[in-house]
Structure 1
């Protein structure tokens, strides 16, 4: 279970007091997270219905980095994008420290993430449209943030990760990194803006067949919009072996393009982005799996995801060409 910071009833009660949400009825650590600690929190004011929240403690992001995410989610909510914005206390403050970690409290949305077997063309169309709406709304958000797992990160980590895997896999990894670097030298005319950066199917909540919220924006940054599309397609639109499922792929991309049309450069560099997106997540899984990062986690608590899932996805993307609608 990925609860890195263990809290007591007294700590959470003290934390929620300035929010005027009533008494703490209970809390429970949320399993499945990788980078942050999350708790479900239930409160009640006498004579009122219970209220449910999600309390997030940020294990890797610093306090000074957090205002970007507070402001971004506020901006997206104002523009009718379905993301949770943090609750503010009686003084209008959302961000504070809890157990010496930056902490935010969010309303808990109904629904849950889909099992992979539940992902169909309708769900992919919903997510394609929603990602495009996020990208369009993000054009009005002027604060810039560079990705902490972007080109500089993978150029530094790539050679170290390559030493931990066999020769053929290492060659494929470094080739994918080199392809992205070569693309950058061509200065492609690719639209940039706010990207989610991690819109996997476990970061979207569905309730009775409808999207209730897109969550976990803590990989958001300013990057190529096409890179974000590729990240999402590489998770939502795949067959069990990691290859592209044509029906899911077409549903997602057509719905996206109906909201934000792709330009000519995006058509040209689409396959390069599919490769780069697969490489980026293979590399992040290798980083954790082989303990190549500097983060200290309690033994037995860190969630390890199989790196080979994205190795297989990358292999397919490097062998097969795909087109945008």
Structure 2
């Protein structure tokens, strides 16, 4: 179970009391997390999620609170932070920063249909449109500079084939970094995988886990989503699902020509981001009872992205 900081009822009850949400009925750790400790919490007033933030600088946490509140005000289904009777949203529990949020309805979809992908694209466009006019600045701690720093240090642990694959994309990142950073910007979810989206009766009801959110090129967010939602078991892109996601997005926020020029490259860069972070996590948590995603999945997808025939629907609305 990926609960890095276990909690007891004796710790939870005094922490929850200032929210005035009623008696603690039950709680359980959530096994799906790989970076933070998350708990389902059942109170008299309803169901909630408690997150203990395990990774990242604490100075960034007000950014997450502000971003989620802005998205909540824009009517996006997100887990905004609840406040205590004295107005506190960000608090401490067991020595870790803690947030209490409403539990959103729905379940994860592990085998998405094109209709699911269309809604994911629409949700992502709504996120970008809601923040493009007033971007809340936060530099990603898994961004291009991080790739250029962490990537070379991992080359020594890779065999010849994967090493050459990684070196090639790191060369692309270095050569095209200024142009990529000049693409249209907004706030990004930056981790819009299937296990972070909820559906109920075929309708998207929530998006969770914003702890990789940052400011950056909107195209990067789209590439991350397409790589997860639209990949086949062999790593190749499913054109039907990919076209559905891109069409859903472009119907609300049309792509521009500069984005189309970087699209194949951005798909590769998005693969590298998760290949590297999974390699690092596998090394750091080897032998521990922690959920570790398979790095080989994104290595395989990166191999498949060496040739990209899927284009962006530029100018579509």
Q: Which TM bucket (shorter chain)?
A: over 0.9
Shift of 1:314: 0.4
CA distance in 2, matches of 1:189, 1:144: 15
1:27 is aligned to 27
- The 8 Å contact of residues 181 and 217 in structure 2, kept in 1 or not, is answered as no
- The 8 Å contact of residues 239 and 310 in structure 2, kept in 1 or not, is answered as no
Q: What TM-score do you get using the length of structure 1 for normalisation?
A: 0.93
1:313 is aligned to 301
2:288 is aligned to 300
1:222 matches 2:215? yes
- The 8 Å contact of residues 49 and 102 in structure 2, kept in 1 or not, is answered as yes
Cα deviations by residue, 1:146-191 (Å, 9 ceiling, x for unpaired): 0001112111111121111101101101111111221124467410
Q: Runs of 5+ in structure 2 lacking a partner?
A: none
Cα deviations by residue, 1:88-126 (Å, 9 ceiling, x for unpaired): 1101111100001000001111111111x2x01100001
CA distance in 2, matches of 1:283, 1:140: 32
2:84 is aligned to 89
1:237 matches 2:225? no
Shift of 1:61: 2.6
1:114 is aligned to 109
CA distance in 1, matches of 2:153, 2:131: 34
Q: What TM-score do you get using the length of structure 2 for normalisation?
A: 0.95
CA distance in 1, matches of 2:136, 2:237: 34
- The 8 Å contact of residues 124 and 236 in structure 1, kept in 2 or not, is answered as yes
Any idea what SS the aligned residue of 1:259 has? coil
CA distance in 2, matches of 1:303, 1:71: 29
Shift of 1:56: 0.3
Alpha-carbon distance change, 176 to 259 in structure 1, aligned in 2, over 3 angstroms: same
- The 8 Å contact of residues 188 and 265 in structure 1, kept in 2 or not, is answered as no
Alpha-carbon distance change, 70 to 206 in structure 1, aligned in 2, over 3 angstroms: same
1:294 is aligned to none
Q: Which runs of 4+ in 1 moved over 6 A?
A: none
Cα root mean square deviation, aligned: 1.4
Greater Cα offset, 184-193 or 5-14: 184-193
1:40 matches 2:28? no
